[in-house]
A and B are shown apart, each in its own frame.
Chain A
Amino acid sequence: MSYYLIFTKEGSFNCFTKDKKILKKYLKERNIDKYNVLKIKDRDMTEKLKKSIEYEEIFVSYGVCMCASEEEYLFESLYTLENEAKYYIETLIRYFKYLKFSKKEEKIVESFIEKIINIINTCDDEKYNIDKYVQRIIRNFWVEE
């Protein structure tokens, strides 16, 4: 059995797996080169090293492979998205009083305000298309790295 350690472009350790299929899936999902991977046989891994990396083992969640740091980044950025959206959408709603709308348009806008406020104030992760969000975050995570 071997450990497959995955490194960022800058050379810092990111995550690992012991499963070759998971490794292939992870690399393919992110379009990562195999040269970012270091293979170490289990007998060459010290207990200290195994312990230091154990929390970054790749797992499958939301239909993709990810590691703990990516999952943390996912939820942090979701939190940021929601808070920023709340601020700017509330500002947009305040701006409506300066725009001229027809009666028909006013009805659409009123309905919109009711729906969007309800969404923003709902604490439920299921309101998001998590699969789509995960795909975008994973791409950005590796671009930013």
Chain B
Amino acid sequence: MAKDEIIKNFIKDLKYNIDVLENFISYLNLSEKDKEFYDKVLKLLKSKYKNIKKSNSDDLGKHLRLKKLIKDNKKDDDR
């Protein structure tokens, strides 16, 4: 799989997984303290996602372990 496609798929999957997490959390019986904690986590993850999405290829390395991502995906392709 080409590098650009690997990154594109990763970003798409990341978003979907965060959305699933948010939906799941919305059904949990949480204390106020836990609610605040999970809101903090979601805010952090969404911010990571946004930073990655708006980065150009030169900046991606600031937010992503690109080499590892590409290497692991190519390893999966070779299996």
Q: Which B residues are CB-close (under 8 A) to A132?
A: 26-27
Do residues B17 and A99 form an inter-chain contact, with CB atoms below 8 A?
Answer: no
Q: Does B1 contact A (CB under 8 A)?
A: no
Do residues B64 and A100 form an inter-chain contact, with CB atoms below 8 A?
Answer: yes
Count, chain B residues at interface, CB 8 A: 31
Most chain A CB atoms below 10 A, which of B14, B17, B62: B17
Q: Does A143 contact B (CB under 8 A)?
A: no
Chain B nearest CB from A2 CB (Å) reads 38
Do residues A95 and B13 form an inter-chain contact, with CB atoms below 8 A?
Answer: yes
Compute how far the CA of A99 lies from the CA of B72 in the bound complex, rounded to whole angstroms: 14
| A128-B29 in contact given A91-B13, A92-B18, A98-B10 (Cβ < 8 Å) | yes
Compute how far the CA of A56 lies from the CA of B52 in the bound complex, rounded to whole angstroms: 51
Partner pick for B20 among A88, A95, A99, CB 8 A cutoff: A88
Q: In chain A, what residue has the closest Cβ to B17? A: A92
Cβ contacts A58-98/B at 8 Å (1 or 0 each)? 00000000000000000000000100110011011001011
Given contacts A99-B64, A116-B21, A128-B29, 19 further A-B pairs with CB under 8 A are: A81-B24, A81-B27, A85-B23, A85-B24, A88-B17, A89-B24, A91-B17, A92-B20, A95-B10, A99-B48, A108-B40, A108-B44, A115-B37, A119-B28, A126-B29, A127-B29, A128-B28, A129-B30, A132-B27
Q: What is A's interface to B at a CB cutoff of 8 Å? A: 81, 84-85, 88-89, 91-92, 95, 97-100, 105, 108-109, 111-112, 115-116, 119, 126-129, 132-133
Could you jot down 11 A-B contacts, CB within 8 Å? Answer: A85-B20, A88-B21, A89-B20, A92-B14, A92-B18, A108-B41, A111-B37, A112-B37, A115-B37, A126-B29, A127-B29
Chain A to chain B: the 8 pairs with minimum beta-carbon distance, closest first: A92-B17, A85-B24, A88-B20, A98-B69, A112-B41, A129-B29, A88-B17, A98-B65
